[in-house]
Structure 1
Amino acid sequence: MLGFRHLVQDTHRGDKSQQIRIPFLTLTLFVVTKDTAGPYECEMKNPVSASRSDPVTLNLLSELPKPYITSKNFNPMENKNSVALTCEPKTQGYTYMWWGNGQSLPVSPRLKQLGENRILIVPNVTRNGTGTYECEIWDQVGSIYNGPDVPRIFPSLIDYRSGENLYLSCFAYSNPPAEYTWTINGKFLQSGPRLYIPKITTKHSGLYRCSARNSATGSERSTLETIRVSGKWIPASLAVGL
């Protein structure tokens, strides 16, 4: 009959080793902290002999700061203003990536990325350049996956009249960028961060849900907004005699 035990070097207490006896081949560490780091070994034994593996060192990486975007002008005039977006905070030894409307932004004559890609410049902004921009911080090992945060729906207007166009935008911080879906009264509408319904009617009244999902972590969060659509407005001069 074979028995297994895992040994971890306890550098904090100065002990030679700490034995962890478990009845399984796999050692699972929950809520990893700095005290969990160090060399690990596995020992297999029976009543007459024992064999120990080579040590494997568990190293912990520090968590990257959550990035955010700053700019002096989030509402530029079309074909007149340029916009500079800066990914904060400034950190040493990291690289930056930019996303626009859920798509990775390549370096191009239209989009200039300066200072190790930390600054994104959009010259002579047009309506095609509007949308949701996100920045991402990478270290030497790779990206830190987190999110999504609770999504927000824009604008906050909830009362509409029949015949108007309904335009909603949803955003939630997420790394990698979130995947979005829209539902109304529990029925699927479409995928993507933007929802556009032309010439709405009272049938479009209801509970709108935007769900944001992180494909890397599998986490999903959502937010709700009630939209009310009233009958089409008729001027008083035309309503006389109806």
Structure 2
Amino acid sequence: MFTTTLSPSEKPFSSVNWSFNVSTTIIIFVINAENIIGPEYEGRITFFPSTASLELRSLTLDDTGEYGVNAVHDGTLLNGRTTLVIYGEQFNISNVLVTSSSTDLVEFSGSVSLSCSASGPSLSFLWLNGSSEVTASDRVQLTDGDSSLTIVNVTHFDQRPFRCRVSNPVSTVTSDPVNLSINGPENINLILSPSQGYFAVGSDISLTCSVGSRPPAQFKWFLNGDQLLDTGSELRLMNVQMSNSGNYSCQASNNKTLRSQTSEPSAITVPPYSLSGQHGDADACFYNQSH
């Protein structure tokens, strides 16, 4: 429907001429209430004389092009132009591909560039991180008509799969995911089990060190700043004695980034008597009063 901006008029136009592709093809020519219709438009158009608007039906790819109208009303020549694009199967999008400058990155210091390519006309691009739309920010740059995405100072939140969604008026295609590996270590946490700080002689205690790291981190354990022989993410203290008292901490290292992170210390206290009172009620009472 080609709708003009003219207000409906009771007085007829002196003449109206609709043409296709810069006046080379006449669609309809109206003069003195007589209509002359181009042969390829017979049965495909409806003309609205009050506004000189035109409806075109049964569209084909050959109808893509520029349309123009010239109208004379009360001795004044009025004209307008517009372009119509018809999309067909050859406008379908294909070969959507995302490439990345790197997939192994270091948190807070690494940068990555992603590029989306596709076959098809009139393409628009949208980036997704997981299910969320990616928008420009201080860390995120969208260039080349949004087909290129650059992220600086990557964080572990950027590890969700990235996809590129390509659209045109005919179709929408989403790329396969690209996963970024954000190496740590980061967010280290030392968990004491049981979580109490004071333990009876003979207790068993477990300390677990959790951390985000790709590849998996390597661990060291420290007591009052001195390195222990133990390795691994868990330190088990069996049948503890007073000598086990002190501040424990773990250190996680990533052999790829050559970075490490140390936890906050966790205090363990083993008094020189039993909290259960097995060395006498007087010792237990003294402990309760002094603590």
TM-score band, normalised by shorter chain: 0.3 to 0.5
TM-score (ref. length: structure 2): 0.35
Bigger strand fraction: 2
Structure with max Cα Rg: 2
TM-score (ref. length: structure 1): 0.41
